[in-house]
Amino acid sequence: MALPQLSLLRGDLTTQVVDVVVNAANSSLLGGGGVDGAIHRAAGPSLRQHCRTLGGCRTGQAKITPGFDLDASWIVHTVGPVWRGGHNGEEELLASCYRESLALADEVRAASMAFPAISTGVFRYPTIEAAKVAIDTVTSTPTKVAAIVFVAFNDETWNAYHALLTAR
Ligand code: AR6
C-alpha cells in the first residue's frame, strides 16, 4: 500500500477542505475548548445532538460523525491522553488515536484527512514528542487515505512538524 502524502499547514482545522477532519475531543464528546470548541461552533448544533447519541469515547479511541456545516464530509472525534509525565501510557494512547482515526477514515473511503496536534493543548502533551508520535504512526499504519494534512495552529506546533518532516 502506498504511503499517504504528508503536508503541513499553518491554520485552522475547521476550514480545511478534506474528506475527514479529526477532532481532539474529550470523553463526553459533547464539546469543549480548543479545537473541539472550534469544530462544534463551525459544524453547528446538529453535531452536539448527534454526539449525544454516541455514548462518549474512551481515551485512545475514536468515533465518527458527519461533518454537518463543515466543508469536511466527516469528523473523527478522538480522545487523546492527558499528559501525566510520560510514564502512564501516554505515547501508546496517543498513537492509538492516530491509528483509530485512520481506520475510521478508511471505513468511509476517505481520500484526504486533516489532523490537529492531538493532546498538545489543554491536555499538555509536549509538542515535539506528540509530533513524533503523529508522524511515526501515520507513516507506519496501513491506510488507503492518500493525503494527510497536519494543521498547526501555532508556531511551536508548525516548527516541530516542520523539523521532523524535513528530517525524514
Ligand atoms: N485548528 C487547528 N488546531 C487548533 C485549533 C483550530 N481551530 N484550535 C486549537 N488548536 P486542544 P487537547 C490546536 O486543547 O490538548 C478541549 O477542551 C491547539 O493549539 O484543542 O487534545 C476538549 O474538549 C493545540 O496545538 O486539544 C478536551 O477537553 C491542539 O489543537 C481537551 O480540550 C490541541 O489542543 C482536549 O485537549
Query: What pLDDT digit, counting tens, does each position of 98-122 carry?
Result: 999 999 999 999 999 999 999 999 9
The sign of the CA dihedral 131, 136, 139, 144 is negative
Kindly report the CATH class assigned to 5-166.
alpha beta
Centre of ligand 1 to C-alpha 118, Å, is: 7
101 ligand 1 Cβ < 6 A: no
What is the average pLDDT across 67-75?
98
Q: Do 151 and 9 contact (CB within 8 A), yes or no? A: yes
What is the average pLDDT across 59-85?
98
What is the average pLDDT across 63-91?
98
What is the average pLDDT across 138-163?
98
Assigned C-alpha cell, 8: 503541513
User: Given the CA of residue 123, which atom of ligand 1 is nearest to it?
Assistant: 15
Centre of ligand 1 to C-alpha 125, Å, is: 11
**Is 3 a residue whose pLDDT tops 90?**
no
Centre of ligand 1 to C-alpha 100, Å, is: 18
Predicted confidence at residue 100, as pLDDT, reads: 98
Predicted confidence at residue 10, as pLDDT, reads: 98
DSSP string, 126-167: -HHHHHHHHHHHHHHS-----EEEEEESSHHHHHHHHHHHHT
Q: Do 117 and 132 contact (CB within 8 A), yes or no? A: no
Predicted confidence at residue 25, as pLDDT, reads: 98
16 ligand 1 Cβ < 6 A: no
Predicted confidence at residue 152, as pLDDT, reads: 98
**Is 26 a residue whose pLDDT tops 70?**
yes
Centre of ligand 1 to C-alpha 162, Å, is: 19
What is the average pLDDT across 29-41?
98
- Just list the catalytic residues: 36
Site to substitute for ligand 1 among 30, 97, 118, 122, most atoms within 8 A of C-beta: 122
pLDDT band for position 54 (cuts 50, 70, 90): very high
**Is 2 a residue whose pLDDT tops 90?**
no
Predicted confidence at residue 1, as pLDDT, reads: 67
Rounded Cα–Cα distance for residues 138 and 83 (Å): 21
